[in-house]
């Protein structure tokens, strides 16, 4: 590094320090906090990429239903800062966390560190995959995707920068309340394994409480809101191929559009996060599982459906559906999203309990396979148990009733399977020590003993607590089941109540899927049943007990101000990532046409609730994800002027951006834009635009293009179309076919 760049560096650091000092004037003399909120786009490649969550090889993205966002919240008191982020991604990965912090430090110096920045994923199962550094999670997406990784990192960093830039003195109000009919337990037979006395403390087998904070400035103007309600964003099932924030993403859209009535999604100042919590065994498909062939209930223990003589039982036939009519997944997403929004809105309006106290944090890396936990055994004696190296059991391959596995596996099966035994024998053989440690789990994949070509799953995880006054946010690196989450909140609540008597009662929330992903965390009793969640509790039967020991340690040292040390640093595997998916080499168009041309124009006239559709000749969406931009706009002409006003983007719920190839191996892209117009859509003249990039040749970088549809008219009920110089009532909707290759375009209609 030259002298000049060293100088630039030092100068940047100096500036960062000055900015910090200036920032730190916000104190909490009177129950006030410095509060900053920010939102930014994390929508990665929208086509030709595996999706994260269901581990399905066939679920490859083909476009966008809703964009994915990162929502960031900065809290500060007396110079101490913490950041909570909820991002519309499957889960946060270690490499994402590390990279986000590294980039924040370039800009802000030591203000933001691994210790005080908590990143949580909403757990949508409809986002692009390939951004996780450990091998196992990249298998079904055929490797790593650097564009997606970069997009997620850039978006998260940008959301934090925006939150940082608008930190202002404000108040935090807490509220909580019951939300029924939005979640069910998908492993109820496991839940029943928990002690009767413990279950008697609760009415339901899932948590029905939504916990919420309302953030406002000192003069009471709304800044944002965060809530935690446990439910899987798996309303969209494994046949969906459009990127979507699922039920939580939709709930955020609804809340934000109510509070920012004049802004398009992701562009308003009020930010509302619907964060993930102890959702491990919690499904949004509230009508429950049934056999798709007979409509009868599935076998409860194994979640399978057998043929009429009780033979040949399959998990693939046992599927849970949501409240949508005929199990329609989009409608189910909408309903479960609406229910969360309605409850959040109500809790927000009625929130009065002021959060107060200092801002603190504690964090430690832990090597889970070395963790020693003190437990009380069946004879009432204390015993020290070591956790296990990571392993997945047979039911992991069975999947869940929200998304059954691809092979014939049954949940709760502690027997072997010829197919998988064969696979695993040629990959990794579990050692006897591992099998014994993980018992009664039948080990399918000894992922903790696999290091080829690099680690398959983490052994080092992050454990983290953020304290914002009497609100305690527990950053858990996985998916706690309902009862596991209750136990964790309880130990922290008891500890704080004991240590800080006379202070406002602690409000403890679980922030799930935070910082690094280590699968599930079931209770010891649930573990014995070995359904999916238990088979995916990777560090063995005492995984939860380790967290029940670790989190109080963090809280205790945080309150006492003692140093527990950082723990062992996690590996950085970014340099070793590979992919089997070829990059886009080139885009082409049908003969005689160019990028942005319309193959199908919208009709001349529509009414409210009609679906408007247009098809463009496009480039591959992978050429540029248009982060913070859009692949489509719907514009409306303002009365009496020729100015076009933006009314929709690809982030809106009622628009869809759909990519396809005309034929296997083709380099042409067909871009379909559709818009399901609201019933009360204002009359007027509208048009659709499409934006994208195309790659002229393998050697050249992608170039931008755009296309604009003919003007169409929306008429109200009973009204007659009006004439307009730009509107042609007889315009042709389909372009004439110029070559045999274009035939498919027309065929599709």
Contact positions toward ligand NAG, by CB under 6 A? 237-239, 319, 327-329, 367, 369-370, 389, 413, 415, 425-426, 429, 459-460, 568, 571
Q: Report the candidate in 447, 441, 484, 562 with the shortest Cα–Cα distance to residue 137.
A: 447
Indicate the residue among 343 and 389 with the shorter CB distance to ligand NAG.
389
Tell me how far CA of residue 178 lies from CA of 183, 344, 649, 693, 718, in angstroms. 11, 10, 34, 47, 44
- Cβ 140 to ligand NAG, closest distance in Å? 15
The single residue listed with the structure tokens 């990532």 is: 577
Indicate the residue among 239 and 585 with the shorter CB distance to ligand NAG.
239
In this structure, what token pair is assigned to residue 568? 């062992």
Cα(695)–Cα(699) distance, integer angstroms: 9
Task: For the chain, state the CA radius of gyration.
Answer: 26
Instruction: Centre a 10 Å sphere on the Cβ of residue 307 and count the other Cβ atoms it contains.
Output: 12
- Cβ 415 to ligand NAG, closest distance in Å? 4
Indicate the residue among 363 and 389 with the shorter CB distance to ligand NAG.
389
DSSP secondary-structure letter at 736? P
- Cβ 316 to ligand NAG, closest distance in Å? 8
- Cβ 402 to ligand NAG, closest distance in Å? 8
Catalytic residues: 283
Bridge partners (DSSP) of residue 250 are none
Cα(720)–Cα(110) distance, integer angstroms: 64
Cα(89)–Cα(154) distance, integer angstroms: 13
What's CA 105's distance to the chain center, in Å? 25
Under 8 Å between Cβ of 542 and 150: no
Under 8 Å between Cβ of 655 and 634: yes
- Cβ 188 to ligand NAG, closest distance in Å? 18
Indicate the residue among 122 and 333 with the shorter CB distance to ligand NAG.
333
Cα(395)–Cα(410) distance, integer angstroms: 6
Which run of H or of E encompasses 711?
none
Cα(280)–Cα(294) distance, integer angstroms: 28
Cα(120)–Cα(101) distance, integer angstroms: 14
Indicate the residue among 328 and 579 with the shorter CB distance to ligand NAG.
328
* DSSP alpha helix (H) spans, 24-108: 94-108
- Cβ 390 to ligand NAG, closest distance in Å? 10
- Cβ 409 to ligand NAG, closest distance in Å? 10
In this structure, what token pair is assigned to residue 570? 């996690």
- Cβ 54 to ligand NAG, closest distance in Å? 9
Indicate the residue among 429 and 594 with the shorter CB distance to ligand NAG.
429
Q: Which long-range contacts does 720-724 make (Cβ < 8 Å, 24+ apart)? A: 721/604, 721/605, 724/685
Indicate the residue among 389 and 735 with the shorter CB distance to ligand NAG.
389
In this structure, what token pair is assigned to residue 587? 């885009």
Indicate the residue among 169 and 404 with the shorter CB distance to ligand NAG.
404
Q: For residues 397-432, b (16+ Cβ closer than 10 Å) or e, as one string? A: bbbbbbbbbbebbbbbbeeebeebeeebeeebebee
């Amino acid at each position: 590094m030259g002298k000049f760049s060293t100088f630039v560096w030092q100068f940047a650091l100096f500036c960062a320090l000055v900015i910090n000092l200036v920032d730190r004037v916000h104190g909490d003399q009177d129950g006030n906090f410095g509060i900053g909120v920010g939102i930014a786009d994390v929508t990665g490649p929208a086509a030709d990429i595996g999706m994260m969550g269901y581990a399905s090889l066939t679920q490859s993205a083909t476009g966008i239903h809703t964009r994915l966002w990162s929502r960031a919240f900065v809290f500060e008191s007396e110079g101490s800062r913490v950041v909570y982020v909820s991002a519309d991604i499957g889960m946060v990965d270690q490499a994402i966390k590390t990279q986000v912090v590294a980039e924040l430090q370039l800009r802000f110096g030591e203000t933001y560190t691994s210790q005080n920045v908590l990143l949580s994923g909403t757990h949508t199962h409809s986002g692009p995959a390939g951004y996780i550094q450990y091998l196992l999670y990249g298998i079904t997406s055929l490797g790593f995707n650097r564009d997606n990784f970069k997009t997620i990192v850039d978006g998260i960093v940008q959301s934090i920068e925006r939150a940082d830039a608008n930190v202002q003195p404000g108040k935090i109000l807490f509220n909580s309340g019951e939300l029924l009919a939005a979640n069910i337990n998908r492993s109820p037979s496991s839940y029943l394994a928990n002690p009767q006395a413990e279950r008697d403390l609760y009415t339901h087998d899932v948590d029905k409480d939504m916990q919420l904070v309302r953030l406002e400035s000192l003069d009471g103007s709304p800044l944002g809101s965060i809530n935690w309600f446990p439910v899987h964003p798996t309303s969209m099932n494994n046949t969906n191929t459009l990127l979507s924030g699922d039920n939580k993403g939709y709930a955020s859209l609804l809340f934000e559009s109510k509070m920012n009535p004049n802004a398009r999604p992701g562009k308003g100042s009020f930010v509302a996060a619907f964060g993930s919590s102890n959702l491990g065994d919690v499904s949004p498909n509230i009508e429950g599982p049934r056999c798709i062939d007979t409509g009868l209930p599935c076998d409860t223990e194994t979640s399978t459906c057998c043929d009429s003589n009780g033979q040949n039982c399959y998990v693939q036939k046992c599927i849970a559906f949501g409240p949508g009519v005929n199990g329609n997944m989009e409608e189910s997403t909408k309903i479960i999203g609406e229910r969360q929004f309605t409850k959040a809105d109500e809790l927000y309006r009625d929130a009065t309990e002021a959060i107060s106290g200092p801002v603190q944090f504690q964090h430690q890396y832990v090597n889970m396979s070395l963790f020693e936990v003190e437990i009380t055994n069946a004879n009432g004696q204390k015993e020290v148990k070591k956790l296990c190296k990571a392993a997945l059991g047979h039911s992991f391959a069975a999947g869940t009733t929200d998304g059954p596995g691809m092979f014939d596996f049954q949940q709760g099966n502690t027997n072997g399977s010829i197919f998988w035994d064969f696979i695993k024998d040629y990959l990794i053989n579990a050692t006897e020590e591992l099998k014994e440690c993980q018992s009664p789990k039948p080990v399918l994949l000894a992922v903790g003993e696999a290091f080829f070509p690099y680690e398959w799953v983490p052994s080092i995880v992050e454990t983290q607590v953020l304290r914002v006054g009497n609100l305690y946010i527990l950053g858990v690196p996985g998916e706690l089941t309902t009862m596991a989450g209750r136990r964790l909140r309880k130990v922290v609540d008891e500890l704080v109540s004991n240590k800080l008597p006379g202070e406002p009662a602690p409000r403890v929330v679980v922030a799930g899927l935070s910082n690094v992903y280590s699968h599930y965390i079931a209770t010891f009793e649930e573990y014995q049943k070995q359904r999916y969640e238990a088979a995916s509790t990777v560090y063995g039967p005492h995984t939860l007990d380790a967290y029940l020991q670790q989190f109080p340690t963090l809280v205790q040292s945080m309150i006492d101000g003692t140093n527990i040390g950082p723990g062992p640093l996690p590996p950085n595997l970014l340099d070793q990532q590979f992919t089997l998916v070829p990059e886009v080499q080139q885009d082409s168009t049908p003969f005689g046409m160019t990028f942005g041309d319309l193959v199908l124009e919208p009709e001349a006239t529509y009414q409210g609730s009609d679906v408007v559709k247009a098809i463009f000749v496009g480039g591959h969406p992978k050429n540029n994800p248009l982060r913070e931009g859009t692949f489509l706009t719907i514009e409306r002409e303002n009365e009496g002027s020729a100015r076009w006003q933006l009314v929709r983007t690809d982030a809106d719920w009622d628009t869809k951006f759909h990519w396809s190839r005309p034929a296997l191996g083709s380099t042409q892209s067909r871009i379909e834009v559709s818009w399901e117009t609201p019933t009360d859509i204002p009359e007027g003249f509208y048009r659709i635009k499409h934006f994208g990039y195309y790659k002229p040749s393998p050697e050249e970088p992608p170039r931008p293009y755009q296309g604009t549809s003919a003007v169409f008219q929306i008429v109200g009920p009973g009204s007659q179309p009006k004439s307009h110089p730009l509107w042609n009532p007889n315009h042709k909707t389909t372009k004439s076919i110029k070559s045999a290759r274009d035939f498919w375009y027309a065929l599709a209609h």
